[in-house]
A and B are shown apart, each in its own frame.
Chain A
Amino acid sequence: MTITLEEASRRVGVSPTTLRRWVRRGLVPQYQDSWTPAAVGHARVVARMRERGHSLADIRRATEEGRLAFGFLDQLFPLALPRYTVEQASLQAGLEPGLARKIITGLGIGPEQAKMLSEDDVQLLRYVAAVVESGFPVAALLALARVYGQAMAQVADAEVRLFHLYVHEPLMRSGSAGIETAEQMHALSRDVLPLAAPVLDQVHQRYLQHFVEQDVVGHMESDLDGSAVDLGRMRVAIAFADLAGYTRLTEEQGELTAVDAVERFIEGVEITLPDGARINKTIGDEVMIVSSDPASLTDWAVGFQRLQSERPLPRIGIHHGAALYRDGDYYGRDVNIASRVAARSAGGEVLVTRSVVEQAGSHLEFERIAEVKLKGFSDSTEIFIARQRPQQ
């Protein structure tokens, strides 16, 4: 597919004269007497580099080393025309412009990108309009848009970073020429990228089914025990777990060893968690776990510690309470208590609060070790160490 110089100039956002100069100086190796999507794509990367103040010599060197081998992206994500402003797109979708703008902002689309919405974005707003039409609360919809935006940004960021680490870097180190690197990356991306959407869709379906079941069970149990909580709050068991001495391990044995230990730890948590529990998030070596069932979560924690045989040992703190649920995360006093309790535990220990002790099984024993004012709290909290009851 050949593109005229004028069209290439428009797509890259620089004058035809500038494009010709870049070609003469070898900045666009994909240009072979005509403008192709790959050449335009590479020129767009060069333009971004120029905007960031890099010299033509630096850009040529980076091109030769294969560092800018992303020109193929224009073929994978072709520039879709026509373009719409938020007002035009919301008119097409039958959505109130103010709400459309909030949804777009919530999804994480910045003001500049929002001036150039595509036909696919208009379709997205049509779906939103249909959801609003069905009576779904707008406040919940905006919260969902933020969750979708953040989650997808994290997914895409991970995809690009892992592609860079495991594909781009090794290709560059192998000494391949820049153009060869670009071609290999293009071939792999073309084969792999289309698989991401169906995989994400399937994972989403599985989690949706899981959480719908959890929600139904949660409703039934709160009806049965009469422990209704305020609107927007959910009664959950919250555990924080991390590796004791992680900072020291990093200092003594280096970052790679420490990161390996964290990966093994998080993988160990993932493969052993009971059905009702899940990792809500990870922050460095710390894992936040939520569960509808404090008893099984405490059992898991005690059993998980029994499965550890080498340092750094995990330390775990658990609390059961009413957490404020917002934008896919849990907040509030009870979450903070769980975090503070975990911070007080030592490697190999499981510390819990009284609300956990009251719901735990008789096969565990709880030793009350302190009644302390946790950091940031005015009233005191009882802390117990959980362990297996000695055999009779």
Chain B
Amino acid sequence: MTGFRSEQEFRHVMDLTFGLMSEDPEIGPKLRDADTPQRFEFTDMDLVVNIRAGGPDEPNLTWEWSDEIDWEPKVKMAMTSETANRYFQGKENVAIAIARRRIKAGGDVKAALAIIPITKPLFAHYRKMIATDYPHLEV
């Protein structure tokens, strides 16, 4: 079974992934404009990350691995690390994952729907990254 070897590895890969999104010239500015704070809970890892658009002097995205934040998430998603890994490889359809309870969505889910097409170009970057550095995560 493909999966992250440890919580540290998962967190490291997610940090790299959010960094890719933030720095990508196509994705980053669009996510900044969308300005949709999101809270992701990774149930099997007992981890929470809150992501929001960056301020004027910040990168396009900023994130905290905690709920100790001074902003309110607009969209809340809960999933396992395996589902997150599949999603970032473009192998997880969000609507189907919600129906099958692999993703639990709350808050302004309409806003989550609007973000899906923005993040699609990320999948190729993520697949390239894990093919090079984390081949055990390929699905």
Contacts and interface: CB of A to CB of B under 8 A. Distances in A.
Interface of A: 267-268, 271-275, 296, 298-304, 306-310, 361, 363-364, 388, 391
Given A308-B110, A361-B100, A363-B99, 10 more contacts: A267-B117, A272-B93, A273-B93, A300-B96, A302-B99, A303-B93, A303-B94, A303-B95, A306-B99, A309-B108
B100 A363 contact: yes
Nearest to A387: B99
Given A272-B94, A274-B93, A299 B113 contact: no
Contacts of A272: 93-95, 113, 116
The SS class assigned to the B binding surface is helix
Contacts of A267: 117
A271 B93 CA distance: 9
B13 interface: no
Interface in B67-110: 93-101, 105, 108-110
B112 interface: yes
19 contacts: A271-B117, A272-B95, A272-B113, A274-B93, A274-B95, A300-B96, A300-B99, A302-B98, A303-B93, A303-B94, A303-B95, A303-B98, A306-B98, A306-B99, A307-B98, A307-B105, A307-B109, A309-B109, A363-B100
B113 A303 contact: no
Given A306-B109, A307-B109, A309-B109, A299 B95 contact: yes
Contacts of A303: 93-100
B96 A307 contact: no
Given A272-B116, A307-B112, A309-B110, A363 B101 contact: yes
A302 B99 CA distance: 6
Contacts of A310: 110
Interface string B17-41: 0000000000000000000000000
Nearest to B97: A303
Contacts, number: 65
Nearest to A295: B96
Contact of A296 (B96, B101, B110, B117): B96
Contacts of A300: 93, 95-96, 99
Contacts of B97: 303
Contacts of B113: 268, 271-272, 307
B95 A304 contact: yes
A377 B34 CA distance: 48
A229 B96 CA distance: 28
Contacts of A274: 93, 95-96
A294 to B, nearest CB: 13
Contacts of A307: 94-95, 98, 105, 109-110, 112-113
B116 A306 contact: no
Contacts of B96: 274, 296, 299-300, 303
Interface string B110-129: 10110011000000000000
Nearest to A268: B113
A388 B100 CA distance: 8
A252 to B, nearest CB: 20
A388 B99 contact: yes
A312 B106 CA distance: 19
